[in-house]
Amino acid sequence: MGPNISALEKEIGTDRFPPNERYFGLVNFGNTCYSNSVLQALYFCKPFRDRVLEYKAKNKKNKETLLSCLADLFHNIATHKKKVGSIAPKKFITRLRKEKDEFDNYMQQDAHEFLNFLINHINEVILSERPQANNRAKLTSDAGGGDNHSSSGGFEEPTWVHEIFQGILTSETKCLNCETVSSKDEDFFDLQVDIKQNTSITQCLRGFSSTETLCSDNKFKCDNCASYQEAQKCMKVKKLPMILALHLKRFKYMDKINRHVKVSHRVVFPLELRLFHLSDDAVNPDRMYNLVAVVIHCGSGPNRGHYISIVKSHDFWLLFDDDVVDKIDQSTIEDFFGLTSDHQKSSETGYILFYQSRDSSDPKVNSNDCRQNGK
């Protein structure tokens, strides 16, 4: 126990320390902060943590998977005899490096790529471990990504990963010739949004669903007209996920210098969020989200710099910087919005935002969600 750790307990106050809660930093194994920051954020997405711990309780003697390693890690934190401290996610990182070549080195990785990989991979593990797992499911798990099985959703029971993270986007395309509107649904585990200087996440999401006209080389193949036509396309959210993960596209590829540069634009994000621009048949359009965690990128580029995360636990905010945990004032969140000037290259900016549905603790809504998924 380092001196800063006991300081944390002191700062929270032993009488105010939430019962059954643990705050553990994660040791860095050489540029593994991309993983540490995302794992902390996910640990404090309560529905996710609960399901992982539940998995641990139910699956005692399974063969080692990335999910079982994650479950062991979460279990170790949640059942630790100390309230605060640090823990080495050695088994998890070793397994991660075995699972995916891209992570099998000591380079800085992209936290969003890792999150994307982890969520999809866990989903595959759950599917492959199902007793009724048919060949088809095995196939998809072998593919390890790139497959689109979950969009067909109809033939398979959704996993709890779906229940937590999956939302549905519908792209409505209106042929400008025959005016027929066709829509196509696709699932998402997170939304990736373009950012602009001095905007809010609300505005960035608006850009996401702004109407675009498909014309010239990019015409739309209209089934009704049986030809390529000009059309208007618009993306709308049809099903709101329980946990809305928003990825701010802060790394932009620059042709001139042949690499990605960081975009430090100031993008404000509120502690509460609702979504505009839902499709007319959207499920639960009133859903209100609370910000529960933010993965923050510090530094000047995608391959250098550092990742940390801030999370909300009970009534206060904590900052996890690898093995160091600090209580922070809610007002310091604005330090992570970004920079209003382009002169400074390095910045500490929100990179992945985790919004949790306010009603996700309500079991009735949960079962509703399941039904929606299973329809």
Partner 1 sequence: MLNHERVTDDADHCEIMASSVDGAEEEDKLKTQFVIRDGTYKRMTLSEYSRPNRVAYTTNQGNTAVKVSFITLPDPDPSGYPERLCFNTGKELYVFVYKGVKKAADLTKYVDKKIYKGTNPTSHDFNRFTATLDSISLVVGFSTGPIQLFDPIKREEKDFKTFNEHTSIDKSKVTCVRWIPNSKNLFLASYASGHMYLFNQDLPCCISTPSYQILQSGEGYAVYTLKSKSPLNPVHRWVIGHEGSSVNEIAFSPCHSYLAVVSQDGFLRVFNYSTQELVGRARSYYGGFLCVCWSPDSKYVVVGGEDDLITVWRLKDRCVVARGDGHHSWVSVVAFDPFSTQLHSDEDTVQCYRLGSVGQDTQLCLWDITEDVLTQTNVFSVRTKTSNNNNNTTSLNNSTGNGTIKCHNNSNSTINHKDSGDHSTSHVASLTQRLAGFSFGSSDKSKSHDHNHHNNSHSRSSPNSGLSLADSTDPMRLIGTASCPRYDQCPRIEPLIRKKIAHERLTALVFKEDCFVAACQDGYVYTWARPGKISNQNSHLVAGTGSSTVV
Active site residues: 33, 306
- Report which of 166, 18, 22 is spatially closest to residue 86, judged by C-alpha positions: 22
Polymer length in residues for the chain:
375
Based on the shown chain and the rule CB under 8 A, indicate whether residue 207 belongs to the binding site for partner 1: yes
Which positions from 287 through 326 interact with partner 1, judged by CB under 8 A? 288-289, 315
Identify the residue among 61, 63, 256, 343 touching partner 1 (CB under 8 A).
343
Count of beta carbons in the 10 Å neighbourhood of residue 29 = 18
Under DSSP, is residue 346 helix (H, G, I), strand (E, B) or coil?
coil
**Taking a C-beta distance cutoff of 8 angstroms, is the pair 147, 156 a contact?**
no
Beta-bridge partner residues of 168: 187, 239
> From the CB of 32, what's the least distance to partner 1, in Å?
22
Return the residue of 358, 366, 368, 370 that touches partner 1, per CB under 8 A.
Answer: 358
CB-based contact 287:357 (threshold 8 Å): yes
**Among residues 188, 220, 307, 354, which is the contact residue for partner 1, using CB under 8 A?**
188
- Nearer CB in complex with partner 1: 68/140: 140
If you compute the radius of gyration of the chain from its CA atoms, what whole number of angstroms results?
Answer: 21
Minimum distance of partner 1 from residue 104's CB (angstroms): 20
Residue among 2, 18, 145, 374 that touches partner 1 (CB under 8 A):
145
Q: How far is the CB of 151 from partner 1 (least distance, A)?
A: 6
Q: Which stretch binds partner 1 (CB under 8 A): 39-47, 130-138, 148-156, 295-303?
A: 148-156
Indicate the SS3 state at residue 283: strand
The CB-of-79 to partner 1 minimum distance in angstroms stands at 31
Pick 191 or 325: Cβ nearer partner 1: 191
Which bin fits 85, alpha (ψ -120 to 50), beta or left (φ > 0)? left
**276 dihedral zone (left: phi>0; alpha: psi -120 to 50; beta):** beta
The DSSP annotation for 97-137 comes to HHH-GGGSSSS---HHHHHHHHHHHHHHHHHHHSTT--HHH
Question: Contacting partner 1 (CB under 8 A), which of 3, 19, 131, 146?
Answer: 146
Question: 3-class DSSP state for residue 347?
Answer: strand
* Spatial CA neighbour of 289 closest among 339, 357, 239: 357
Binding positions for partner 1, 103-142, rule CB under 8 A: 116, 120, 140
Q: How far is the CB of 192 from partner 1 (least distance, A)?
A: 6
Q: Quick one: which of 334, 345, 361, 374 contacts partner 1 (CB under 8 A)?
A: 334
DSSP result, 1-29: --HHHHHHHHHH-TTTSPTT--EEEE--S
Q: Is 276 in the site for partner 1 (CB under 8 A)?
A: yes
Residue 268 contacts partner 1 per CB under 8 A = yes
Amino acid of residue 209: S
Contact region for partner 1 (CB under 8 A) — 27-35, 67-75, 189-197, 220-228? Answer: 189-197
Parallel/antiparallel/unpaired status of strands 267-268 and 199-200: parallel
Residue 185 makes contact with partner 1 by CB under 8 A: no
CB atoms within 10 A of CB 330: 12
What six digits make up the tokens of 254?
């620059």
Question: Contacting partner 1 (CB under 8 A), which of 251, 359, 366, 372?
Answer: 359
Element (H, E) at 252: strand 251-254
Could you say whether residue 199 binds partner 1 (CB under 8 A)? yes
266 binds partner 1 (CB under 8 A): yes
Check residue 230 for interaction with partner 1 (CB under 8 A).
Answer: no
As a whole number of angstroms, the distance between CA 176 and CA 333 comes to 45
Nearer to partner 1, 60 or 152 (CB): 152
345 part of the interface to partner 1, by CB under 8 A: no
Q: Is residue 178 a contact residue for partner 1 (CB under 8 A)?
A: no
User: Interface with partner 1 by CB under 8 A: which residues?
Assistant: 116, 120, 140, 143, 145-151, 186-190, 192, 194, 196, 198-200, 202-203, 207, 212, 218, 249, 266, 268, 270-274, 276, 285-286, 288-289, 315, 331, 334, 339-341, 343-344, 358-359
